[in-house]
Amino acid sequence: MPGSGVIVNVLAVLGGTAIGLLFGRLIKERFRLISFSAIGVAVMIIGASMAIGGLGDLGETHLGDYAALVLVGSLVIGSLTGEGLRIEYWLEQFGHKLQQIASGAPFLAPGKAVEPGEKGHTLVEGFVTASLLFCVGAMTVLGSLQDGLGDPSLLYLKALLDGIAAMALATTLGAGVGLSVLPILVIQGGIALGANALQPFITPAVIAAIRAVGGALILAIGLDLSGIKRLPVGNMLPSILIAALLTGFLT
C-alpha cells in the first residue's frame, strides 16, 4: 500500500524513542555523554561514506571532474538560501513551541542533572537533531518515492535504522527525538504523495548528487553530536534541493 513505508518509519522512531527513554533514565549522565560522543563519531563516518560514495558516482557521469563543483556550489548556494530564510531559527522556534506544550507532561520533560558537571538536554535539541538526521539523505528521497509508487521496502530498511538511532539518541536527548516524526510525516509523506510527478526527474545522477550533499550534512550533524563543532545544518538543508536541480539541469 502506498504510504505504508512512511507509517512504519514513524512507528519505528516512536518505538525507538520510547525504549531509549526507558533505558535512558537508568543510565548515569557520564555514561550517556560518552555514548553520545560514540554516536557522533559513527554518524560522521556514515556521512563521510555517503558523501564520498555519492561524489564518486556523480563523477562517473558526464560531469566527470566537475562533480566536485556541483557539491561545493550546492552547499554554498543552499546554505546562503537557508541563512536568508532562517530555516534553523524557525525550526528551533517550532521546537520551543513544542517544549511549551510538553512542559505539563512529566514524561516529556528533559533530563535533570544529578551529579556535578552534568546537564540536561532540552526538548528542542532532541527535536532539531533527530529531525535533521532522519530527514537528510538520499534514502529519505528515494525511499519515499518508491513508497509512493507502491514499493516501501527501502523505507522499511530506513525505519529499522532510524528506530535504532532514535533509541540511542533518546537515551541522551530525551523525548524531543520522538517529535521528529512530525517533519518525517511532512517531508517523506509529501514526497510519497508526489511520487508519480517526481519520478521522471530522479535520475541516477540526481540520486548521486543527493547522496553526496546529504552525506556532507550528516557529517556536519556528527560533528555536532560529538561536540567538535556546532554547524547550522538546518540552514544548509536547501543544499539538497539545489544539488538535485543543478544536477538535473546539467545532465
Lookup: cell for 104: 505539563
* Predicted pLDDT of residue 34: 82
* pLDDT tens, position by position, 190-238: 999 998 898 888 889 998 999 999 999 999 988 988 888 888 898 999 9
Lookup: cell for 25: 533514565
Query: For all residues of the chain together, what is the average pLDDT?
Result: 85
Residues in the chain: 251
Stated pTM of the model: 0.81
Give φ, ψ of 226 to 5 degrees: -85, -5
The answer to whether 123 and 176 are in contact (CB under 8 A) is yes
Average pLDDT over residues 89-95: 85
Q: Which of 202, 241, 236, 205 has the alpha carbon at shortest distance from 219?
A: 236
Separation CA 251–CA 248 (nearest Å)? 5
Lookup: cell for 187: 517531508
Separation CA 160–CA 13 (nearest Å)? 9
Residue 106 has pLDDT above 80, yes or no: no
* Predicted pLDDT of residue 111: 44
* pLDDT tens, position by position, 151-198: 999 999 999 989 988 988 888 888 889 999 999 999 999 999 998 898
DSSP 111: P
The Cβ of residue 154 has, within 10 Å, a number of other Cβ atoms equal to 18
The answer to whether 112 and 120 are in contact (CB under 8 A) is yes
CA angle 25, 29, 30 (to 5 degrees): 145
* Predicted pLDDT of residue 102: 64
| Beta-carbon contacts of residue 212 (< 8 Å; ≥ 6 apart) | 50, 51, 53, 54, 55, 58, 67, 70, 71, 243
